[in-house]
Amino acid sequence: METQARSKAARIVTISRNDHLGYDENIRQQRVWGEKFSDEELSASNLQNYSTATLKVLFQGLGNVTFYTRGAPPHLDRQERVFEELAARGATTADDAMDLFQGYLAARLLDRARRLKDRFPDAKLWKLPVVVEDKDLPEEVFRVYDISNDSTTATVKHLPIRGGPWIVVSTWYSCPVAARTLEYIEADKAMRQIMQKHGIILTGRFEPGGVVRRNAKVKFARTYVAYTEQDWPGIEFGASPTFHFLKDGKILHRFWGADTKEGFFQDFKRGLEAIGVTEL
């Protein structure tokens, strides 16, 4: 059983390193192999009998699947069991703690993330804000965490995306292509004004520090953290930056990044035309 489990995890790791598959196919194959594990193979009692080397491979493979399924509970719970067995043997690293921490954040399991941070103070896991949540929000879609400028609180809000034209830019804070396209907007008065009126920047990653730094630098649109990715149907969080043009909550045009400023301008203009914005 150990050999079978290790072989599946090793296969996931091998797929993740295959640059010839293409992004979507790479993720699809990792997810498929992630579903091949049985509950018995990854039960706590069986993990106790596996070698530490096998556990390391399992943790890496399951970590890949967790990342690309955005913290789906079955995969995350399995990764957590492997981590706890490694921890019981004193075989975890700061990187292991960070991987699990980010898995918790992707699943928005913030209490688990806080407990992990307390257990591993040397792992450089970031401090999490206090969540302020209104239980009477109008509907369970288009919700965000609005991170305070001092990163101490995260207020859950509902954005009125169902009404009128909107531009939703999904990004990762550390993405250089996203930084470049936001600079294109900043340098163009008309585009900047359109984003001020119709745009938001959205990230699926719960990284309060990155959000605060982005909001301090980019003034034409506020950056929010998606409450969950399921709250934002059709929004592409796996490719940064992706520009989505919505009208009354429906995506009518979408494009990813841009190789040149001129190409970006043309794609942006097509998006505006799709949602009936004529200011440009």
Question: What is the per-residue pLDDT across 176-226, written as a single tens digit (0 to 9) for each?
Answer: 999 999 999 999 999 999 999 999 999 999 999 999 999 999 999 999 999
Residue 86 contacts residue 96 (beta carbons within 8 Å): yes
Average pLDDT (144-169) is 95
- Residue 112: C-alpha distances to residues 79, 106, 178 (Å): 13, 12, 30
Q: How far apart are CA 237 and CA 251, in angstroms?
A: 14
Q: How far apart are CA 78 and CA 212, in angstroms?
A: 32
pTM of model > 0.85: yes
Domain boundary assignment for the chain: 2-123, 131-275
The CATH superfamily of 131-275 is Glutaredoxin (3.40.30.10)
Summarize pLDDT for 113-138 with one digit per residue, the tens.
999 999 999 888 999 999 998 877 77
- Quick check: 62 pLDDT over 60? yes
Summarize pLDDT for 234-250 with one digit per residue, the tens.
999 888 999 999 999 99
Give the tokens for residue 276.
């009936």
CB within 8 A of 14, min separation 6: which ones?
none
- Quick check: 280 pLDDT over 70? no
Average pLDDT (71-96) is 91
Burial 149-174 (b: 16+ CB within 10 A, else e): eebeebebbbbebeeebbbbbbbbbe
